[in-house]
Amino acid sequence: MHRPELYIGLMSGTSLDGVDAVLVDLGQTRPELIGRHYLPFDEALKSELLALHHPTHNELHRNQLVANRLASLYAQSVTELLAQTGMPAAQIAAIGCHGQTIRHCPEHGYTLQIGNSALLAELAGIRVVSDFRSRDIAAGGQGAPLVPAFHDKVLRHDAIHRVVVNIGGISNLTDLPPGAPTSGFDCGPGGLLMDAWCMQHLGTPYDTDGAWAASGEVIPAVLERMLDEPFFALPPPKSSGRDLFNMKWLHASLKGDEAAADVQATLLELTCQGIARAIREHCRGAQEIYLCGGGAHNSALRKRLAALLPKCTIAATDSLDVNGDFLEAIAFAWLAQQTLQDKPANLPAVTGARHSCVLGAIYPA
């Protein structure tokens, strides 16, 4: 008889839009999604999180206050998810919480995801597993991406060469070649620059279906300057975030007289070129590409990727029965289970770590 193993996964990513929460049963070969919930950030919290990505006045104090606010939001998302599913907190083995990345600097030997896990455990009354990236970095790895290990478990095919592309704030891929080890790395910007440019010029958080980008024209000189960024030429393993790709980086490539819609078109092309180049160079022979994350909903982006990768079929992970909007949250629930079972969950071939590691820190309820 099947015995449920219930976990909650929480994900708030580089896009800074809100908290994805899932309730999953991990007691079977394939995770079963029981419930899902989304809780958006308000603009004040988003602004404060953006400010903390760079040195700022009294940042240590401000960082801790924001971490407490995040813990309260995470706890609220858990409470609402449990109410929605009718599941008591006592039935949940653990919460896997990614936390909110403020700095990701593996080249300096650290990464920082905030969210006050002790407070979350106190408020939710459920054991919390968090800080998944630090152990991999301690072993010489990038600490990211960590989700490829989960992709390997649920999306690999014995005979078909698949690539999973997560397009959040940053885009990253997982290469799943049959009969060969899984690999993966960050490709470059996903939606974070497009979203920021959209907010600045249209006052909307994102470009629905890429319609604004489609109304503009790519600016070749700007695109060339952006693609000259050394990150794109680095071999895997590699990871990135707002520490590199931010509005200051974008403005350094602009002269200032460009039409706003043309810049948006160029940013969409940058995202697509980064993904397509990574697949062509490092995932040779790929047959199927599966998209997840917010960018998977951008029809202009999907159309351009299809044009750049004509030999591949492109679809959403939803077509494989894996919800692409909540896939990362499901993955962090699974990572929490791996921690509690004392199982390594990083892939050294992906992160560059010297060896496999049990990830995460545990905060009892």
**Over residues 13-25, mean pLDDT:** 93
pLDDT for residue 261 is more than 80: yes
336 in the same domain as 296: no
221 in the same domain as 166: yes
216 in the same domain as 274: yes
134 in the same domain as 184: no
- The pLDDT assigned to 1 comes to 61
101 in the same domain as 229: no
265 within some domain: yes
Which tens digit of pLDDT belongs to each residue from 151-207?
Answer: 999 999 999 999 999 999 999 999 999 999 999 999 999 999 999 999 999 999 999
Confidence tier at 234 by pLDDT (50, 70, 90): very high
163 in the same domain as 303: yes
**Over residues 329-358, mean pLDDT:** 97
97 in the same domain as 24: yes
94 in the same domain as 17: yes
**Over residues 294-311, mean pLDDT:** 97
Q: By residue range, what is the domain housing residue 213?
A: 156-320
Cross-strand pairs, 22 = 9, 36
Residues in the chain: 365
Cross-strand pairs, 112 = 103
Confidence tier at 18 by pLDDT (50, 70, 90): very high
336, two tokens:
């929490």
95 in the same domain as 177: no
172 within some domain: yes
- The pLDDT assigned to 56 comes to 85
160 in the same domain as 304: yes
58 in the same domain as 162: no
**Over residues 258-271, mean pLDDT:** 98
DSSP 193-245: HHHHHHHHHHSSSS-GGGHHHHHS---HHHHHHHHTSHHHHSPSS----TTTS
Cross-strand pairs, 189 = 170
Taking the model in full, what pTM does it have? 0.93
147 within some domain: no
DSSP state of 38: E
pLDDT for residue 124 is more than 90: yes
With H, G, I as helix, E, B as strand and everything else as coil, classify residue 63: helix
How many Cα atoms occupy the beta-carbon half-sphere of 275 within 13 Å?
Answer: 34
- CA–CA dist 113, 118 (Å, integer): 14
Confidence tier at 54 by pLDDT (50, 70, 90): confident
- The pLDDT assigned to 166 comes to 96
148 within some domain: no
50 in the same domain as 170: no
Peptide bond into 181 cis (omega under 30): no
364, two tokens:
């009892």
> Structurally, how many domains does the chain consist of?
2
223, two tokens:
């695109």
Q: What is the CATH number of the domain that holds 285?
A: 3.30.420.40
Which tens digit of pLDDT belongs to each residue from 161-173?
Answer: 999 999 999 999 9
Which tens digit of pLDDT belongs to each residue from 22-42?
Answer: 999 999 888 999 999 999 999
pLDDT for residue 15 is more than 90: no
Share of the chain above pLDDT 90, in %: 95
